[in-house]
Amino acid sequence: MLHLNIDCIFAPVMSNTRFATAIHILTLLTVSPGEYLSSEWIASSIGINPVIVRKELSMLHEAKLVFTRKGKDGGSTLNKPATEIFLADIYIAVKNSEVLGKKNQCPNPLCPIGKRINEKLENLFSETDRVVINFLKDKTLAEFASQFH
């Protein structure tokens, strides 16, 4: 079963879509148990470039969430049951920044606030991240994917 390519009619306003991409990939794998889906097929469902999918799959492989087979009839499949994959795993696998963003790089060390702001922000930022991860750690990929039945 192949998807047709659909041209996007919306204005190109996009920033980081890595979580959306990752969970889309994993949802497709979940609803196709035992099948090896190709990056091109996955890409046509998401509406992005197959190379981006392969890069994301590479991350998900590092996180041991998927298994990928090379060569003819190759593709990817889940590396464990969807009931054992948590949204926090996905979040951690793809995240490259904290929920509250980045710190300024050069606060003034001569200012009492500037001198210590980043250490305080580090605490706040990582606490906030922990809250998010805690929320996502009880939600399974299986649950998420079951919404599409």
Q: Where are the beta strands (DSSP E) in 1-149?
A: 66-69, 75-78
Query: Considering CB distances under 5 to 8 angstroms, the limit depending on partner class, which of its own copies, DNA, none binds residue 140?
Result: none
| Interface positions, 129-148, toward DNA (CB under 7 A) | none
Helix, strand or coil, per DSSP, at residue 37: strand
CB atoms within 10 A of CB 37: 19
Q: β-strands 75-78, 66-69: how paired?
A: antiparallel
Alpha carbon distance 59, 57 (integer Å): 5
Of 11-19, 78-86, 119-127, 128-136, the segment contacting DNA by CB under 7 A is 11-19
Binder to its own copies among 38, 50, 59, 103 (CB under 8 A)?
Answer: 103
Of 77-85, 93-101, 118-126, 135-143, the segment contacting DNA by CB under 7 A is 93-101
Alpha carbon distance 133, 131 (integer Å): 6
Quote the DSSP letter at residue 149. -
96 binds its own copies (CB under 8 A): yes
Q: Minimum Å distance from CB 82 to its own copies?
A: 13
Site string for its own copies, 17-56 (x = CB under 8 A): xxxxx-xx--xx--x------------xxxxx--------
